[in-house]
């Protein structure tokens, strides 16, 4: 069975470029695993590769949602696995590219999605408004300490979801979280770089966003309507605040840069905990060849388990 190649890691490390290079070299096609790149019209702020720059490589699961819709990991899992199955049936290498950790795990790993109940959720959300998220987090800690440890006391949305799952299933929420066990066999290649370099890359990306039409993009999206996920996305929330006069341009750029750096550290925390990721230096001049070597050895069954993850994790710190 053809292994999926997954290029993962923090934002601004060059995942899209490496994914394109690997797809070209391996005769593959790219499968998007960035939650925001699912949305039509969200191009500048997500660093979506323009069609003219995709080097003729087909891309899947880009521009499949209206910005007014809410992305669903469960829907993504179904759609992405169908795409991967089709590519394999045609003898084409799937190259998954993205930094949305839960989406990558949903595609690759054994991951269940318990149902929802609007009444249960509404009741929990009303309690958050009346009692505060911290009170419900205390309840979650008593019912499922593992889940509570991974969910901050101010993350009301995830606290509500965890308590909803517990109420509906009678099981701990953490029991439904993904295990490091492939349902779709893959080799994961992580990109990382030292903290000052990544910070500089992030700042450069934000400048390119604003210089490349970010405000005009957000103005168009707002006229069409934005759902909660799209409206709160890093960069889009700050650009909208600038358009409303709540931030000047310098402030919007600065807040986006700071939020993107926080996002990068969060992504590194997610992927850095996965012991299966083979980490490469994003600045390596022979990056593509080293990545291809990993794929060749994985295909041959001679790729050893990663040993460099701890040292690479230190580059971003916490």
- Annotated ligand binding at 12? The verdict is yes
Edge-to-edge strand list for the sheet holding 28-32: 59-60, 28-32, 93-97, 4-8, 186-192, 278-281
pLDDT value at residue 67? 97
- Annotated ligand binding at 204? The verdict is no
pLDDT for 31-76, tens place per residue?
999 999 999 999 999 999 999 999 999 999 999 999 999 999 999 9
pLDDT value at residue 157? 87
| Over residues 154-158, mean pLDDT | 89
- Annotated ligand binding at 266? The verdict is no
Q: Which of 22, 26, 6 has its CA nearest to residue 96? A: 6
Q: Tell me how crowded residue 278 is: count the other CB atoms within 10 A of its CB.
A: 22
Q: What is the DSSP letter of 37?
A: G
- Annotated ligand binding at 100? The verdict is no
What is the CATH architecture assignment of 4-110+183-208+258-313?
3-Layer(aba) Sandwich (3.40)
Residue owning tokens 């997954």: 6
- Annotated ligand binding at 10? The verdict is yes
- Annotated ligand binding at 260? The verdict is no
pLDDT for 216-256, tens place per residue?
999 999 999 999 899 999 999 999 999 999 999 999 999 99
End-to-end CA distance of the chain: 38
> CATH classification of 118-176, choosing from 1.10.20.140, 3.20.20.70, 3.40.50.1100, 1.10.150.120?
1.10.20.140
φ/ψ of 280, rounded to 5, equals -125, 155
If one compares 111 and 87, the residue with the highest pLDDT of the two is 87
Three-state DSSP state, 148? helix
Maximum pairwise Cα distance, the chain: 58
pLDDT value at residue 164? 96
> What average pLDDT is seen over the chain?
94
If one compares 152 and 292, the residue with the highest pLDDT of the two is 292
- The rounded radius of gyration (Å) of the Cα atoms in the chain is 20
Residue 247: left if φ>0, alpha if ψ -120 to 50, beta else—which one? beta
- Annotated ligand binding at 13? The verdict is yes
| pLDDT of residue 309 exceeding 80 | no
Tokens of 229: 């996920």
Q: What angle do CA 78, 20, 105 make, to 5 degrees?
A: 30
Confirm if 275 and 180 have CB atoms less than 8 A apart.
yes
- Domain residue spans in the chain? 4-110+183-208+258-313, 118-176
Taking the C-alpha atoms of residue 270 and residue 273, their distance in angstroms, rounded to an integer, is 6
- Annotated ligand binding at 315? The verdict is no
């Amino acid at each position: 069975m053809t292994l999926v190649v997954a290029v993962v890691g923090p934002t601004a490390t060059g995942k899209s470029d490496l994914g394109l290079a690997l797809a070209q070299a391996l005769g593959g096609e790219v499968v998007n695993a960035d939650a925001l790149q699912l949305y039509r019209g969200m191009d500048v702020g997500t660093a979506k590769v323009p069609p003219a720059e995709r080097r003729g490589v087909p891309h899947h699961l880009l521009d499949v949602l209206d910005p007014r819709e809410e992305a669903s990991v469960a829907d993504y899992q179904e759609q992405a696995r169908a795409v991967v199955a089709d590519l394999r049936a045609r003898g084409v290498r799937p190259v998954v590219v993205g930094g949305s950790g839960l989406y990558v795990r949903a595609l690759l790993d054994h991951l269940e999605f318990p149902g929802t109940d609007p009444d249960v959720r509404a009741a929990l959300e009303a309690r958050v408004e009346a009692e505060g998220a911290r009170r419900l987090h205390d309840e979650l800690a008593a019912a499922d300490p593992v889940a509570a440890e991974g969910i901050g006391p101010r993350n009301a949305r995830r606290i509500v979801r965890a308590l909803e799952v517990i109420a509906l299933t009678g099981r701990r929420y953490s029991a439904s979280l993904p295990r490091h066990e492939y349902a779709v066999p893959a080799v994961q290649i992580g990109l990382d770089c030292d903290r000052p370099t990544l910070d500089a890359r992030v700042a450069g990306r934000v400048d390119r966003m604003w210089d490349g039409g970010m405000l005009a993009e957000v103005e168009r999206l707002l006229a069409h309507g934005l759902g909660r996920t799209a409206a709160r996305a890093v960069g889009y929330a700050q650009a909208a605040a600038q358009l409303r006069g709540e931030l000047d341009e310098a402030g919007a750029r600065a807040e986006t840069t700071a939020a993107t750096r926080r996002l990068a550290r969060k992504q590194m925390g997610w992927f850095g905990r996965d012991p299966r990721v083979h980490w490469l230096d994003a600045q390596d001049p022979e990056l593509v060849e080293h990545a291809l070597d990993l794929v060749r050895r994985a295909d041959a069954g001679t790729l050893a388990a990663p040993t460099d993850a701890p040292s690479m994790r230190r580059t971003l710190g916490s």
